[in-house]
Chain A
Amino acid sequence: MSDITTVSGSRGLQQREDLIFETGCPNKTGVDLPKPKGTKSRLGGVTRKRSTDLPGLTEPEAVRHYVRLSQKNYAIDLGLFPLGSCTMKHNPRLNEKVARMPGFSDIHPLQPQATVQGALEMIDQLATWLKTLTGMPAVAMSPKAGAHGEFCGMMAIRRALMARGEIETRTRVLVPASAHGTNPATAVQCGFKVDEIKANKRGRVDMEDFRAKLEDSSDIAGIMLTNPNTCGLFETDIREIADLIHDAGGYFYCDGANFNAIVGRVRPGDLGVDAMHINLHKTFSTPHGGGGPGSGPTVLSEALADYAPVPFVVKDEDGFRLIEEVDGKGEDAFGRLAAFHGQMGMFVRALTYMLSHGADGLKQAAEDAVLNANYIQARLKSVMTPAFEGHCMHEALFSDAFTAEGIETLDIAKALIDEGYHPMTMYFPLVVHGAMLIEPTETESKAELDRFCDALESVARRAAQGDESMKGAPYLAPMRRLDETQAARKPVLRWTPPSPEQIAAE
């Protein structure tokens, strides 16, 4: 059936769609306005000499173009998404409803503070939830996403080292191989040198290597560790890691991108963490993955609390107010990260998620996320190779050891598209050969998990048997397998109109 070709180029009800530049023409428009009368151009000699060549479409053509493109999308609203919270987990519709309430959606950040007391109280309440869930005394609300939160935490560490007079000498930040890729990037961005710690055979920090790195600790600024780590494993030595880094005079940055797996179960403050960002768009279900925006509030320990950036909300006898200046209550702040107060729309959605779930519901969400990932690992381990022994957290990680010669992770991912699923994370983390990382998240039912596992199990069996047809997958997608190498080596980044010779040849 995959061999059938059609005159229209469509496949059944999946419409063929060309680029908007190919379908549009400058003579068409969706909105036909009369030329303004009685106005004179004030552009003088700098008026445009030629057309902008933007494509023109009628309104129904424009609508169809984007609807047809959206048909080619895979979406969390369409099916299970094995990339999990890293890219998109379910966005509860109640969040959206509350975020659209006029008291939240129709206000402006420059409005007098007396007129937005409810909004400030909402920020303060969310901050209280975040501090309580993490067991930390302070939180910076303004970081706009995860990496921005990392930047915030590392800037607070910089500021603390400056206060100690050690910013010139303490320049080395340890980053485990199992940490997120953004961690070393952030350390470098903040002026530190990165020193990588090896992973051990259990996929966790190699404590022997870690201790060796601390032998001369005079230049240690801190450690950036992701927990649970990118292998989907809890760093079991985390308390000892915290003690050792503190004894060495450094600070402990924890990447909270995977907080989804432990919220309500573990408080990072109890583990000795000094700074951690929280991705509201992961753990607390606000939208992301192609729009977002993200939001990355960063909690800080007692040692770093005073250096939190402005602005922040305080409450006194006159109600809630914003501290905007590096002065008075904010005199030790390391500065400002954003023009205004953070991602207000995401704050509303995250707090709605918290209040609608309650503390017990948040804990259950974390437990269900871990249960679902372990269910996938348990169901697939007879046909696929789990990367590490034992239980996982919210992500199940497999290596390509089970595949026959010649079949690799990419082929499994492509064959999974024919089964109607977006592929899992591939070839990451790097410490596992041909890695396949699957995060189902907490919202999938057992029936849906079984449907996914049935599909992946059959693909994995074909891979183990060396089914050569997988090399040609996907067969049923709008586009067949693309030449990713050529696309990366010689990318075509903009459309160019066909030359007159090409047009004549047609």
Chain B
Amino acid sequence: MTQSFTQQITFYTEDHEWVTVHGELATVGITQYAAEQLGDVVFVETPDVGKTVKKGDELAVVESVKAASDVYAPLSGEVVEANEKLADAPETVNEHAESEGWFCVIKFSDGAETEGLMDKDAYYEFCKGQ
């Protein structure tokens, strides 16, 4: 089932990814909160364009001075674009986690999967409980 979004809406996951859906595409990154928790990001492994992922699959890897963490696909679909700038400038993730520090764009296959995700307020509450 394909469901497109006419408006741009941002959702959040419990694993601290953000996903902005627009039309049939979804831009994915990690949240400002996650970037702060990780500390200085030193490397991001973005997925190859053309890779198909299921919701919850490992999508990317982010490494900071403290730890290496998996980033999970918030939606199922096909990766259509990856942020190649992160290879030379991983600090973008710390500086602009929820804008220029995006990881990749997924052409998602099931818009209904957004139903389990949080909106900004719910995510903010979720982080307070962490």
Contact = CB atoms under 8 A, between A and B. Distances in A.
Contact-size category for B: 10 to 19
B65 A485 contact: yes
A489 interface: yes
A427 B91 CA distance: 20
Interface of B is mostly: loop
A163 interface: no
B67 A427 contact: yes
A485 B90 CA distance: 11
Nearest to B57: A193
A31 interface: no
B65 A484 contact: yes
B94 to A, nearest CB: 9
Contacts of A489: 40, 42-43, 90-91
Nearest to B58: A194
Report the interface size class on chain A.
Answer: under 10
Interface string B23-54: 00000000000000000101100000000000
Contacts of B67: 427-428, 430
A133 to B, nearest CB: 34
Contacts of A426: 66
A484 B40 CA distance: 9
A46 interface: no
A488 interface: yes
A485 B66 CA distance: 10
Nearest to A196: B70
Contacts of A430: 67, 69
Interface in B98-118: none
A194 B40 CA distance: 27
A319 B95 CA distance: 69
Interface in A400-456: 426-428, 430
Contacts of A485: 40, 42, 65
A117 to B, nearest CB: 48
Nearest to A430: B67
Contacts of A484: 40, 65
Interface of B: 40, 42-43, 63, 65-67, 69, 90-91
Interface of A: 426-428, 430, 484-485, 488-489
User: What are the nearest 8 A-B pairs in CB distance?
Assistant: A488-B42, A485-B40, A427-B66, A489-B42, A484-B65, A485-B65, A430-B67, A427-B67
